[in-house]
Structure 1
C-alpha cells in the first residue's frame, strides 16, 4: 500500500496530512489514532503534529528538536514582546513555533550571524524540500521579520526578506438555494440557530463561539462582535427572523455565560462540534461539496454584493482591514457574469 505523509497547516492548526488511495484496513488503523480526522477539502486524513506521529509516519523530526540555548532565550524574549503588545495566544503560539523551526535549523549558528541568505537557504532546504505549504512559509516569514525587528546587531535586512507569492484562490460560494437547504436541514433549534447566525452575520467560527447573550441587541437589531480578528470590535445587522429563532432557542437552552454552550453550563461550545453540525446538515441536504463553515461567511458576502450592497459596507460587516481582501468577492459574484452572452450561442 503506497501512502505519503507531510506536515500541513489546516484551519490554522499544525497537523500531519496522510494521503493514500482508499483502503479499509488503513482507514480502520488511522481511526484508532488520537484526534485523527478526515478532511473532505484535503481529501486526506490528518492528525496532530506531534513527535510520536512524526516517528509513526516517518517524517523528519527537525522542527521538533530544540534550538540552541541562545535560541531558547530569544524565543522566550519574543513571546514576552508579543504578550506585551497584546497579541492573541493563538498568534503567539503560531509565531513562536514558526521561529522555533527556523532557529532549530540554525541551532549551530549564532543568531547575530544569521543573514538574508540563510532565510533563502532555509526556505529551499527545509520548507520546499519537505513540500510544506506557502501559507506555512508565510507564517515563518512573518515570525522572522517580526523577531529580527526586536533584535539588535543583526545582519538581517528586514525589508529584503521576501514573502512567498500569494496563491490567488477564489473563495468558495454556495447558491442561495444551497444555503437554504443547509439551514433548514436541522430540526434541532440549537443547531439550526448556530448555522443561521453564522450565515446571516458573516461570522467566523471563533466569533460565534465567543458570543454572549448580551451581545444580542434586540432593540437596535444588532449583533456586537467583540474582540474579533485583529482585536477589533464590530457590529452586524440582526435579522428579525434570526431574532425570533434566538428567542425560541433561549427558552429551551437558557445559556448563562456564552450564547452557545456545551454540555457544561458556562463553557463555550466546542469548535469540533460545529463542524459536525455542518457535516450532518450537508448529509441531510444531500450536498456533496466539501463545504466548510467558512463557506457560509463567503456566501454571505457574495450574496450581499449580488443584491447591490456597497463593497465598503461589506468590508465593515466582515471586519476586513483592507478593501483588497473584500474585493475578491467581485470575482465570484455571478450577477454580471450571468448577463454575458457566450459567442457560442451565435454559432
Structure 2
C-alpha cells in the first residue's frame, strides 16, 4: 500500500465516510492512476479532463456513472493533497432528469403473489411497506422491529443517519409468520455466510425472478418498491414533509420529485380546456343528392 493511499484512507475514516463510499473512492482513484501509469500526486487538471473524456467517449459511461469518479478525485486532491483547485477542474456532467417507472397497487399485489420463497417475499414486502433502501433492508436486525411502538428502526441509513419508519400491522403479521418459520436470532434476514446478513445481490436476483414470474413488463428492482412507497403515499394525500422523514431524504427537493409521478394528484387536475364554453352544436346538413 502506498503512503498516499493510506493517507486518503485515514482522511475518509476521520470524516466517517460510509464503507461503500470509501471502497468506491479508492477504486476510482486506482483506475485513474493506472490509466496514466503515474502517482496521482504527479497528475493534474489536464489529466483529469483527459480521464473524463476517456470515460465518456471510450468507456461509454453515462453521466450518472461518472459522478463517483468526480467525487473521488475531488476528495483526493482537495482533502488529502490539499490542492486549491476550483470546481471547473472537476467538471461534473449534467445528468438527464428521468422519472422513475411506478408500479400500480395491482402490479405490486401481482408481484408479491409471484414470489414463492417466504423469506424473499418478506424481504421485498418490508422494502415496500416501509420504503426502505435495499441496503437498509438487508441490515435490519430482529431487535429493530418494535411491535410495541409499531415502528421499525433503521440504523445508520444513507448519510450515516438513524431514523424510524412505520410498522404496518399487516406487515407485522407477515414478519411474525416469517419469524416462526426461520427463527432469525441477530440479523432479521441472515445470509448464507454465518454471522452475515443476506446480500443485496441476492435480493436483486429474487426481484428479477419474481418479475419474470409475474409477467409485468415494467422494470422492477428493489428500489422500484421504494419509489412506489413514496408515490402511493403521496397519492393517498400524505404530506410531502412527512414522506421526506420516512424516506430519510436530506433535501425536500428529492422527495418533491415524486409529485411529478403521482398521477392521481397531478393528472387528476382539471385541464383548463374543460373550462372553455361548449360550442353550439353544428346544424345537421341535408343529405347530398344522389346522381348514380
Shared fold (TM-score, shorter chain, > 0.5):
yes
> Structure 2 residue aligned with 1:214, among 131, 138, 143?
143
Q: Say if 1:248 and 1:109 are closer, same or farther in 2 by CA, change over 3 A.
A: closer
* 1:150-299 to 2 correspondences below 5 Å: 150-152=79-81, 154=83, 157-160=85-88, 161-263=90-192, 266-299=195-228
* 1:55-70 to 2 correspondences below 5 Å: none
> Structure 2 residue aligned with 1:301, among 191, 206, 230?
230
Q: Deviations over 1:293-315 (max 9, x none)?
A: 11000000001111111111111
| 1:54 aligned partner | none
> How far 1:343 moved relative to its partner?
5.8
Would you say how many aligned residue pairs link Structure 1 and Structure 2?
A: 274
SS of aligned partner of 1:150: helix
| 2:287 aligned partner | none
SS of aligned partner of 2:213: helix
Q: Is the 8 A contact 2:127 2:226 kept in 1?
A: yes
> Structure 2 residue aligned with 1:312, among 226, 241, 245?
241
The structure whose Rg is larger is 2
Using CA pairs under 8 Å that are at least 6 residues apart, name the structure with larger relative contact order, 1 or 2: 2
SS of aligned partner of 1:223: strand
SS of aligned partner of 1:235: strand
> What TM-score, normalized to structure 1?
0.72
Q: Deviations over 1:150-179 (max 9, x none)?
A: 24574x513333311122111221011101
> How far 1:84 moved relative to its partner?
2.3
Q: Say if 1:229 and 1:110 are closer, same or farther in 2 by CA, change over 3 A.
A: closer
2 CA distance for matches of 1:178 and 1:192? 15
Structure (1/2) with the larger helix percentage? 2
| 2:285 aligned partner | none
Q: Is the 8 A contact 2:141 2:188 kept in 1?
A: yes
> Structure 2 residue aligned with 1:135, among 54, 58, 64?
64
| 1:102 aligned partner | 32
> How far 1:265 moved relative to its partner?
5.4
Q: CA RMSD in A?
A: 2.5
SS of aligned partner of 1:230: helix
More displaced stretch, 274-283 vs 211-220? 274-283
